[in-house]
Amino acid sequence: MSEADWELATVLGVLHREMGAIYAQVARDFELTWQQVELLCQLNDASPSFGELARALGCDKSNVTGMVDRLARRGLVRRESDPHDRRVIRLTRTEQGAALGEQIQAAIAELLAQRFVNLSADDRRHLITLSQRALAALAAAG
């Protein structure tokens, strides 16, 4: 393993922790857990099944039931049965859930813009480009 590999792991680790703190802050501002925010973000333009949600969130499908229950109790999401397969339930946001989801994403972008105010426009542009390439590399590597 090269020196650069160690440096990459170190700096990405610290950045990951900082980003986690930022997301946790926003979630708490909206009285949600960050897992609930993650789930809500999966419903931006899709109506995933519970199994698809579990895979996207990296948890077991049995956990999704409870998380959805809690969001449904607050009127943010709604279960809808799949017409093609009556075993499957698809999850959609309610109007209230969609409105809240957009507020949350705006709050995240706003907070990031504030916290990165000391990063020059050039650096910010490069950071976006390189992060996109990094994501493409991750996708290619599987």
Partner DNA sequence: TATTGTTATACTCTATAACTATA
Partner DNA sequence: TATAGTTATAGAGTATAACAATA
* 90: three-class secondary structure by DSSP: strand
Site for a copy of itself, residues 91 to 110, rule: CB under 8 A: 105-106, 108-110
**CA-to-CA distance for 139 and 28, rounded, in angstroms?**
31
Residue number with CB closer to a copy of itself (15 or 46): 15
Closest distance of CB 36 from DNA, Å:
5
Residue type present at position 8? L
Site for DNA, residues 79 to 118, rule: CB under 7 A: 79, 85-90
**CA-to-CA distance for 94 and 30, rounded, in angstroms?**
17
The length of the chain, given as a count of residues: 142
- How many binding residues for DNA (CB under 7 A)? 28
Positions that interact with DNA (CB under 7 A):
24, 28, 33, 35-36, 49-51, 57-68, 70, 79, 85-90
